[in-house]
Structure 1
C-alpha cells in the first residue's frame, strides 16, 4: 500500500487510539493456575481408569469395520 492510499482509506487509523480504561499490568495469575491444575488432575483421575474400556471399544470398532469390509468385498 502506498502512503497516499493509507491517508485516503478511513478504516486505517493513523495513530493509536486511546481507551477509556487504564492499561493493565501483566502479572502471574496463581489462582487461575491452581484451578487449571486441579481441573487437569481431576480429568486424569477420571480418564485413566476408563482407558482400558476406551481401548476395548476402539479395538472392537476396528475389528467390526474390518469384518464389514471383508463381507462387502
Structure 2
C-alpha cells in the first residue's frame, strides 16, 4: 500500500481507498495523497472536494482507480 501512496504523491494521480472511520462507518473515497506521516496521510478527497486527514491504520484497502469506458451516443 505504501508504494501506491507514494505513487499518488509523485505523479499526482488519484487512488481509491476503502476507509473505516473512528465511528465504524465504511466509505469509498478517491483521493490524491499530499503527505505521508507515520500514523496518517494528508490527501485531497475528490468526494468531499476538500483536504482530509486519514489514519493509515483505518485504510482497509487501496487501489488504482478502475478505468471506465466512455461511449459516444449518436
Q: TM-score range by the shorter chain?
A: under 0.3
Q: Which structure has the highest strand share of the two? A: 2
- Point out which structure has higher relative CO (alpha carbons under 8 A, 6+ apart): 2
Q: Which structure has the highest helix share of the two? A: 1
Q: TM-score, normalised by structure 2?
A: 0.19
Q: TM-score, normalised by structure 1?
A: 0.20
